[in-house]
Amino acid sequence: MNILELFLGILTAMGGFVEVGELTFAVNAGAKFGYSLLWIAGMGTVGIIVYGEMAGRVAAVRGQPVFNLIRERGGFDAGLVTLTAATAVNVLTCAAEIGAVALVWQLLADWPYRLWVVIAFLVLVLSVWVLPFRWIERVFGLGGLLLVIYLVVALVEGPAWGDVGAALMPNVPVLESSQQYMLYAYYAVALTSSIMLPYETYFYSSGAVEDKWKPSDIALNRVIVMVGFVLGSLLCVSLIMIGSQFFGPRHVEPQLPGVVATSAAAQFGTAGLLVAVLGMFFAFAGAAIETGLCGAYNIAQFFGWPWGKFRRPREASRFTLTWLAVFVLSAIVILAGVDPVSVVEYSIVFSVVILPLTYLPLLLVANDERVMGAHVNGVLAKVLGWIYLAITTVAALAAIPLLVLTHGGQG
């Protein structure tokens, strides 16, 4: 195993963990409910580790990414439903991330928002066109590591460690009304979804094929997923803590990324603000690229087209035209005046609905000794796989009723 590759893989997984949906939901969860939702971050992290590891292992053994398996195991009809829903969620998430990049840049220069959207769109398309896959992963993943500033801010603010420790165990706080309990459940579902976003599994397994992983890379996959995702989840935990420690007492419920960055400015002045803004740019731009590419990966894999950044655009022309179309559609959604934060709320909630449809075929293949041979799921992976499938199914069934009952999380 190449140590440099392992190190970069871990850092990339960590830096690519946070996107605008997770940022806003985590900080607001902390501002509204204190530390009490920290256990959801822990639970979600174990879930994404279980399925991320499975997706990487299946890709390394069979050379096939998730959407090949969805079609193979789910059949054409169920697969088409999943593909349609996943594509809609990818476009919405990509739109939200493009809008969020524009909002972040607007903090640096007060140009019109729509102009920043167009610039963000062009920069993202050019990056995907020009950069090889590995460099896309590294530039945006490593840039996203600047978000570690939020971890430092959370620690410097002086957390109540006893309460943090207690909140990492499953708990439901005492709240004033049934509406508050519903809001708590809504945030629990949304936070789970934002950590276990389905595009992360699609992108991770497609990336494993792009990087030509083989069964000998399974150990690398395991370490990257376990260490990288745990470190990435620390960023999510720190955002909940900042919400609780900084925004909650001030009765602020941050809706914009720029407001979240004020917590870094309060501790470290202009330098802190700049690091936070740069970190958010890389994290959101990375997520926009991942969702844009995922839209094309999924469709190409479902219909059996040549795909991948390892092929020249003319050799995978329908794949190339599809990711261009996803970016164009996403930019149009945002240019039409839709608020990126509202878009992200809907994309996060609808994401959880497709999680079980994504995970079940993956679990069935990873459990199948006939196709996985010696690399079939062990007892732990099997048990955790079924537990998390049950958890995501319950969350999927509850997501839309909770969205309606809480008026989109407004209480």
Partner 1 sequence: MSDDAIHLVRDVVDHEVVDVHQLPCGVVDDIELDFVPGRGFRPVALLLGPGAWQRRLPRWMAAIARWLSGSDEARVPWSEIAYIGERVALRKTAAELGLGGADRKWGARLSRVPGA
Q: Which is nearer to partner 1, 3 or 130 (CB)?
A: 130
Alpha-carbon distance 18 to 30, whole Å?
16
Which amino acid is located at 166 in the chain? Answer: A
Structure-token match 């602020």, residue found: 252
Min dist CB 16 to partner 1, Å, is 25
Q: Which is nearer to partner 1, 20 or 128 (CB)?
A: 128
Q: Which is nearer to partner 1, 57 or 62 (CB)?
A: 62
DSSP state of 398: H
Alpha-carbon distance 77 to 237, whole Å?
39
Min dist CB 357 to partner 1, Å, is 15
Q: Which is nearer to partner 1, 59 or 396 (CB)?
A: 59
Min dist CB 371 to partner 1, Å, is 7
Min dist CB 76 to partner 1, Å, is 5
Min dist CB 275 to partner 1, Å, is 33
Q: Which is nearer to partner 1, 77 or 176 (CB)?
A: 77
Tokens of 130: 């020009």
Q: What's the burial of 51, exposed, middle or buried (CB within 10 Å: 0-12/13-18/19+)?
A: buried
Tokens of 407: 């008026």
Phi-psi region of 197 (alpha: psi -120 to 50; beta: other; left: phi over 0): beta
Q: Which is nearer to partner 1, 59 or 261 (CB)?
A: 59
Min dist CB 309 to partner 1, Å, is 12
Q: Which is nearer to partner 1, 107 or 325 (CB)?
A: 325
Phi, psi of 338, rounded to the nearest 5 degrees = -75, 135
DSSP state of 201: H
Answer whether 255's CB lies under 8 Å from 41's CB. no
DSSP state of 211: T
Tokens of 387: 């537990």
Min dist CB 141 to partner 1, Å, is 23
DSSP 223-260: HIIIIIHHHHHHHHHHHHHHIIIIITTTT----SHHHH
Q: Which of 136, 90, 129, 114 is nearest to 329 (CA)?
A: 90
Tokens of 341: 């934060």
Min dist CB 209 to partner 1, Å, is 11
Return the SS3 of 394.
helix
Min dist CB 318 to partner 1, Å, is 6
DSSP state of 367: T
Q: Which is nearer to partner 1, 162 or 304 (CB)?
A: 304
Alpha-carbon distance 96 to 249, whole Å?
28
Min dist CB 123 to partner 1, Å, is 16
Q: Which is nearer to partner 1, 10 or 128 (CB)?
A: 128
Interacting residue ranges for partner 1, rule: CB under 8 A:
62-64, 68, 71-72, 75-77, 79-80, 129-130, 300-307, 312-318, 320-321, 371
Q: Which is nearer to partner 1, 171 or 317 (CB)?
A: 317
Residue 52 vs residues 173, 221, 322: alpha-carbon distances, Å:
31, 9, 25
Answer whether 55's CB lies under 8 Å from 266's CB. no
